[in-house]
Amino acid sequence: MKLKVVTHNPGKVREYQEALGEYGIEMEHVNREYAEVQTSYLEEVVDRGLKALSAEGLDDFIIDDSGLFVDALKGFPGVYSAYGQKTIGNGGILRLMEGEEDRAAVFKCCIGCRIGGESVIVTGKCPGVILHSARGDGGFGYDPIFSPDGEHSFAEIPLEEKNVISHRGVALRMLVDELRGRGFI
Ligand code: ITT
């Protein structure tokens, strides 16, 4: 089975392929825009995106809205994570966290899947901390400054290990359960 991944981010597509390949699902990267509403909830962005794209006639696709929510920054960058990455970047987040003892953060990933005319929306979370400096050159986005265990950043661990614990990995396993329950895989 083929599922399209509608995103500008090839890093996400790699993670989907790594996790869903074993179920015989082949990912196809579709690099196109969809309307992302301004809201405080990832689920709302995904729900609206699914509806907009299926109204345009698209089927058998996945969209993914993710964010890094930092406790000491009152949840920032959160739903503004893409903007935060483009503007202040990882260096800017580290500067905002200078001298801050509470390093707790949570990565969230909301996946929306439209398949056979049905919609599935699931959200996965991964708690961790913001490191004091960027580490590693794997992964993408905030991976070098986020650590699930306080030691290694996501950018330092292999993709298959990131998928076991990450927000996207957790959401992907929920998606697989849903697709299995509905007889798609
Ligand atoms: P699309 O919306 O086109 O899918 P995007 O990269 O803008 O791609 P998001 O809005 O979901 O995706 O992501 C918000 C930001 O969080 C963005 O800068 C990502 O690079 C970053 N991000 C998302 N998942 C991540 C992960 O697993 N590791 C590190 N950074 C991540």
Q: Which atom of ligand 1 is nearest to the CA of 140?
A: 29
pLDDT of residue 185: 87
Tokens 């800017």 -> residue = 92
* Cα–ligand 1 centroid distance for 9 (angstroms): 7
Q: Is 66 in the pocket of ligand 1 (CB under 6 A)?
A: yes
Protein residue with least CA distance to atom 17, ligand 1: 82
pTM of the model: 0.96
Q: Which CATH architecture has domain 2-181?
A: Alpha-Beta Complex (3.90)
Q: 17 with 83: CB under 8 angstroms?
A: no
Q: Is 140 in the pocket of ligand 1 (CB under 6 A)?
A: yes
pLDDT of residue 35: 86
Q: Is 18 in the pocket of ligand 1 (CB under 6 A)?
A: no
pLDDT of residue 60: 96
Q: Which tokens sit at 63?
A: 């969209």
Our mutation pick for probing the ligand 1 site, out of 39, 46, 81, counting the most ligand atoms within 8 A of Cβ, is 81
Rg value, the chain, Cα: 16
Helical pair 167-181 and 10-20, crossing angle rounded to 10 deg = 50
Q: What is the pLDDT along the chain (185 residues), one digit of tens a residue?
A: 899 999 999 999 999 998 899 999 999 999 999 988 889 999 999 999 999 999 999 999 999 999 999 999 999 999 999 999 999 999 999 999 999 999 999 999 999 999 999 999 999 999 999 999 999 999 999 999 999 999 999 999 999 999 999 999 999 999 999 999 999 98
Q: Which tokens sit at 77?
A: 């960058």
- CA separation for the pair 114, 34 (Å, rounded): 14
65 is catalytic: yes
pLDDT of residue 139: 95
- CA separation for the pair 172, 105 (Å, rounded): 20
Q: Is 65 in the pocket of ligand 1 (CB under 6 A)?
A: yes
Q: Is 143 in the pocket of ligand 1 (CB under 6 A)?
A: yes
